[in-house]
A and B are shown apart, each in its own frame.
Chain A
Amino acid sequence: MAEILIKTKNVTHSDLEKDRRGCYKRGYPVVVFEDGHIWGREESKQVWIVEGKDPAQWEDKFCIVKIPGLSVLKVQALIEAQTEDDAGNPLIDAQGMPIVYRRRRWKILVDNIPPAILNQLKNAGEVTVIVSQIRNYIKRIRDNVQYVGLD
């Protein structure tokens, strides 16, 4: 099982270039781990609650999608930054070092997923799904191409 930590709120910056390259947006995958990962209290609403903290005080920065039977290697690419421009041209500096164009290359269309799953995410802060339930909602940001790495 892979577990994906996903940003649920937009971070914004008035400088549009900085906003694009640096700021996390709702639906951006943040980190991925194997099944059974021990999350922190700021990452997991369930950990927050288990520790006895008031659910109303949960800041709702993240949610967690768990996908049973899926190797974490198949979702590793989701946490890569976009280092090409929106035309697909790789960006490197004078020393040949990749430059981040957008914070993430891929995005999970959280608001498009089926309501039952979305409600679970909103209420519990995490949801367990199978690949077919999430496959169609992972898109490349620059051209909306679907992520095929899950299969």
Chain B
Amino acid sequence: MPTEIIKTVKPSGGDYSSLSAWEAGEQGDLPTLDEIHTAECYSMQDTIAVIINGWDTSAIRYLKVYTPASERHDGKWNTGKYYLDITSGHALDIYETDAHVEGIQIDGNGTNLTNYVIRATRNKISYCISKDAGTSGYYTDPLTTQFWNDIAFDCNGAGFYLGSGGYFYNCTAKDNAGIGFQRFGGTPTLKNCLSDNVGADYSGAMTVSYCASGDATADDNGGAGNRINQTFTFVNEAGDDFHLASGDAGAKDYGVDLSADPDLAFSDDIDGQTRSGTWDIGADEYVTGFYQQALTGGLIFSGGLSKKTKKGLTGGLTFTGGLSKKTSRNLTGGLTFVGDILKSLRVKKNLTGELIFAGSLSTIKKQFKSLAGSLSFTGSLASVHTVGTGMMLRRIGNWIAQGVRRWYY
């Protein structure tokens, strides 16, 4: 198994202060080294264009450029997270095979050339946002490159400029001055793509299925499930938030399930939310009840919670109904369950305040970095797996447990 060498790119306190310097410092022959080289990019404005060139890679000894979840955009353009801000030339120019780019934002400021240039095979570009490129949002020439859950918007040229082939699944091209998906060579394969632009939405010979267009071009090449002349409704189109609104009738529930696709299989959207049911077209999957932003001021559910909250939550969380899923970030202000917990409870980060269970809970699993308040159970608790180990135990203030059957330390 290759060893993964992770280096951070941060505005301060990191291994590197720009992605370009990481590339210069880490380039090498990865198959010989038996290594994967990863750049972990943290929230910052990175103003130096990047060329990935001079590497040797293989399918399992690749290079990866990505943002961890806490540093990644929230499915829409976000300058509070990591982004490349480039005014001239290509922003990210990949000459080598096996580069995996995940969760990167690029702003071309309308003056650069292209934001993403992919010149070699087996590259993977996912969860990325390309904004205001001088020409194309994404330019790709190789046969087997895979794109999924990517967005291009406000570019001066094409959103996606496609040569030779490749797979483009659940990508969104919006408000680009040129063509949304423009083929200049080969036969690219498009599935579940959404295109609504100033120029035409699709142009050239491509294999297109379950795609949608604002104009009449989505079915120009035939194919199943394509939808033309659609009106798309987004959460905040004027603010470049292209999450599908609940009332969307152009893309929501008109895609095809690609979780077992033989060429490119995945099962989530640009936010990392699991796609379920009939998939939506475009980079976003509309999910009922999913709250994406940090929430200040408390949250009370009198009828239970069926999905999850992904960001910080300040001000308390009270369930008088049950809980079937999880909360995954910081939780400040206490957590009270009056109903039953149907799944294991997982709070990945800190919990400040009280944790009270009045209902029953099947398991607590891998949950707290720290618990500053007390933990009490007035209902039953079947088992505790890891909460009572090491430092975490010492941080717990006051335990009141009634009906606890087993403790695991």
Contacts and interface: CB of A to CB of B under 8 A. Distances in A.
Interface in A17-44: 18-19, 21-24, 30-31, 33, 37-43
Given A19-B54, A40-B17, A42-B25, A97 B139 contact: yes
B128 interface: no
B15 interface: yes
Nearest to A80: B89
A95 B24 CA distance: 27
A24 B261 CA distance: 39
A43 B21 contact: yes
A40 B20 CA distance: 12
Contacts of A7: 24
Most buried by A among B8, B10, B25, B48: B25
11 contacts: A13-B29, A24-B24, A33-B17, A38-B17, A40-B17, A41-B14, A79-B20, A80-B89, A100-B51, A100-B93, A103-B51
B54 A11 contact: yes
Given A24-B24, A40-B17, A42-B15, A97 B53 contact: no
B12 A38 contact: yes
Given A41-B15, A97-B117, A22 B21 contact: no
Interface string A38-70: 111111000000000000000001100000000
A110 interface: no
Contact of A95 (B7, B9, B51, B184): B184
Interface in A76-113: 79-81, 93, 95, 97-98, 100, 103
Interface in B132-182: 139, 141, 161, 163
A38 B10 CA distance: 9
Contacts of B20: 30-31, 79
Contacts of A31: 18, 20-21, 24, 48
Given A7-B24, A11-B28, A41-B14, 7 more contacts: A13-B56, A22-B53, A31-B48, A42-B25, A61-B24, A61-B25, A95-B163
Contact of A13 (B18, B54, B93, B117): B54
A61 B89 CA distance: 26
B373 interface: no
Most chain A CB within 10 A, of B54, B56, B163, is at B54
A23 B8 CA distance: 21
B11 interface: yes
Contacts of B21: 5, 30-31, 40, 42-43, 62
